[in-house]
Chain A
Amino acid sequence: MRLKCEHVWNYISDYIDGSVDAQLRDEIEKHLEHCEICTAVLDSTRNILVLTADERTFELPVGFSERLHARLAEELVGHTAGGDADSSAEL
């Protein structure tokens, strides 16, 4: 079966995550060998994911950590860590 570009686009995210089955992966790779359009889609998407995962892209505000720990320090003085059910996450 020869895949159409639209079909490849539908699976581009799963393909990047390695969560397509072996047969579909082979079909996508055969398609990519001759399709510049889909190769560009895949390549540019990967570029974007590299950028978003890079810690330099999303930086903490200047002084963020100092302000956070100063606020925590106020709480920690005289308050033991507890079991406040209202604050807990439901996991």
Chain B
Amino acid sequence: MSAEGDLIQRILAGETELFHDLIRPCERMVYLTALSMMKDEAEAEDATQEAMLKAYRALRSFQGEAKFSTWLVAITLNECRRKLRIAKRATFESLDEGGTEYEGEFTPAVLTDWREVPLEALERKEIRQAVVAAVGELPPIYRQVFTLRDIEELDVRETAEVLGLSANVVKVRLHRARLLLQKRLAPILKAARTGRRRFFWWSTT
């Protein structure tokens, strides 16, 4: 039995405190899943807590067919959908699994004179903040798939499973999400490189 499976058996046998250890590696994944649905940090945190409590109460029903983390993500998505239904926000921001695909062109930003962006520029705080903002502004159906695939690094099959989508729809939405982010962020990355060179020039005169 895996270490994870062993922990689960011990928790079910009464060593309830071990649940803390079981979920610790999954905290970030669960929170980011909730954030991709709720957008608001406080609501995402609340949904994370609720999802973890529900996972505890339902632990006996975990069959071990999926990874525990994937099971947690599925519970989190259900909890967020429940909260959104209550808040009637689903009317404004469709999170339905079927989800209407967005019409229009999905083309990248075409940049001339592109040069490799140095690591130091990528690590600047304002670049990271721009990335967070851009992901937050993706249409929900793309944001969910992007979060699961490219932030939490679930594979296509797992992403399709927890979202109730086909693998092909996951791939299409991921492609579109990446292009939308490239269009939004590539000019900022390019400017960051240019800015760094200017800063370097100033700092040497």
Q: Which residue of A is nearest B72, CB measured?
A: A89
Given A47-B189, A51-B122, A81-B11, A68-B52 contact (CB < 8 Å): yes
Judged by a CB distance under 8 angstroms, whether B154 is at the interface is no
Q: How far is the CA of A25 from the CA of B108 in the complex (A)?
A: 19
Asked whether, in the complex, the Cβ of A40 is within 8 Å of the Cβ of B114, the reply is yes
How many contacts between A and B, using CB within 8 angstroms?
Answer: 184
Contact with A along B52-70 (1 / 0, CB 8 A): 1111111111110110001
Contact check: which of B23, B31, B57, B150 meets A87 at CB < 8 Å?
B57
Asked whether, in the complex, the Cβ of B58 is within 8 Å of the Cβ of A9, the reply is no
| Size band of the interface chain A makes with B | 35 or more
Secondary structure of the B contact surface, majority rule? helix
Question: Chain A residues near B85 (CB, 8 Å)?
Answer: none
Binding site for A on B (CB under 8 A): 11-12, 14, 16-17, 19-20, 23-24, 27-28, 31-32, 35, 41, 45, 48-49, 52-63, 65-66, 70-71, 74-75, 77-78, 107-112, 114, 116-117, 122, 127-128, 131-132, 135, 146, 150-151, 153, 161-162, 171, 174-175, 178-179, 181-182, 185-186, 189-190
